[in-house]
Amino acid sequence: MNEVSRELMCIFIRGGVELWVEKEKIGAIQEQIKRGVLFTIEGNMINANDIIGIFKPEVIADRTRRRNGQHQCEYGKWHERFKKCECKVEGMGGEELAKFSRGF
């Protein structure tokens, strides 16, 4: 039997704390945030003023990569710290590559 994977969202809190919550529960949590200063998320008492935002997993993954020194080039690929992007060269062929090599 295949288990259905859960979609998670990250509630990012000041100080770098990440609380991962099922996407279906986010609406109720947003209502709690609007109503009061203190509320509970999965047994954790949270001050609404300390919440930076609620983010998709991709946003947190990109943030982690940047904090680890990686950078994303204009072609959307990630590169390690101090590694030169050669994505343009990799996508070239034939005459275009020859012109690029000659500096044109």
pLDDT one digit per residue (tens) for the chain, 104 residues? 455 568 999 999 999 999 999 999 999 999 988 887 898 888 999 999 999 999 999 999 999 999 999 999 888 889 998 888 887 766 545 555 445 454 54
Q: Residue 92: give the domain boundaries.
A: 70-104
49 and 74 fall within a common domain? no
40 and 50 fall within a common domain? yes
Helices (H) and strands (E) in the chain, counts: 4, 7
35 and 76 fall within a common domain? no
Predicted TM-score (pTM) of this structure: 0.69
83 and 104 fall within a common domain? yes
Q: Classify 16 as helix, strand or coil.
A: coil
Residue labelled with tokens 């000659």: 102
Report yes or no: 84 and 90 within 8 Å, Cβ to Cβ: no
Residue 41's H or E segment, with its range, is strand 38-41
